[in-house]
Structure 1
């Protein structure tokens, strides 16, 4: 389903898939989630030389995490005021920080920061983020995962380009939304009788819905071939102040 529905995909070699699976398990264990299984987990490598998102699954704690698919992303770009380095850790996607949907409107720089109309914004609430300007330090930032401008910015996913959030391809956003990959908490609310406007009526929710987004930094010193930089033509079309969108 990932291969069919997601248009921006990365072909990650098997050895790299296993290495990231080990990194995922280590990070989960560090957050008292070492036995997590039976649900999908999203992992993001914020390394400037990777900028990729991976979906993993395992049926039981004794199993090895298996990669479902991978896509390019853009995380926080330091160097300007109000730009955070995307925080590391394990973040729970919960209705306590209710998702919402993009209106598809342009900001003052003619950028649709949340993507086209009706794209879902996965809201992870307030997080402690490292300031990417001035003397650095830690401040609160609103941490979200969302689509980006489809005409000007989706083509440059794969480089750090956001104010701290994780920008993802529109087709991946739709995939996560339609199959409820991260919707375990939302599913529980619906099953208790709640009606949630943010959820579409035609969803096909997986029975293995998860709730965690894991952010790591592989600190790679060079760019792997499986995660290529966006081409020069795409980068040349990026308008001024485009990285001031979320």
Structure 2
């Protein structure tokens, strides 16, 4: 697992408590031990942690990586929303084509990188002082490996969560957020085509992305 050892912000006291509080506020019921993907959008943290959440036991941090979330004070850029976002089979994910934009940037990373789609959500417009809300398509995805991945660890996105290629591959290969997708793949060819043929799905697969902000009181 990426960054499974060594110090990181995901190992700081309070991370698990913040995620547990967000899960409780959302009313998400955990009926079995499962993996959650959590993100701290605080500008001073900008990190992701994979948690093993147990309904009646302690929660463990299994590993993590740095990320980039929404950047403030830049027109067209939204602040990544906090809360619990469910990855369900109501929306079909896709994979990056690896093409360059007008700035010679591969915005979703290399060809074949997984893009997890959480649908349309409300997010604050980071360029407005009144934090007016607008809709964004909320995604979890890789980023350009040559120019942007080295900048992970600071706010930089338009509202989505950017992750390193190594974390993208880990989540994808082991189906960390694919509880619904694995079930759907049994009867729906679209999901079978999406999921890796050589994947090694974990029996602890979950469906929740939890975004918190340690710079705010919880």
Same fold (TM over 0.5): yes
- Cα deviations by residue, 1:7-34 (Å, 9 ceiling, x for unpaired): 6976237962x52111111111111125
How far off its partner does 1:95 sit? 2.2
Distance, in Å, in 2 between the alignment partners of 1:97 and 1:104 is: 21
- Name the structure 2 match of 1:138: 133
The answer (yes or no) to whether the contact 2:10–2:49 under 8 Å persists in 1 is no
Distance, in Å, in 2 between the alignment partners of 1:103 and 1:209 is: 26
1:53 to 24, 48, 51: 48
**Structure 1 residues not aligned, in runs of 5+:** 221-246
1:198 to 194, 205, 211: 194
- Name the structure 1 match of 2:146: 151
Alignment: residue pair count: 213
- Name the structure 2 match of 1:89: 83
> Structure 1 or 2: larger strand share?
2
The answer (yes or no) to whether the contact 1:7–1:171 under 8 Å persists in 2 is no
Matches within 5 A, 1:1-246: 2=1, 6=2, 11-12=7-8, 16=12, 18-33=13-28, 35=30, 37-58=32-53, 60-135=54-129, 136-191=131-186, 193-195=187-189, 196=191, 197-219=193-215
RMSD, aligned CA:
1.9
Distance, in Å, in 2 between the alignment partners of 1:66 and 1:137 is: 36
How far off its partner does 1:178 sit? 0.3
How far off its partner does 1:89 sit? 0.5
The answer (yes or no) to whether the contact 2:3–2:63 under 8 Å persists in 1 is no
TM-score (norm 2): 0.92
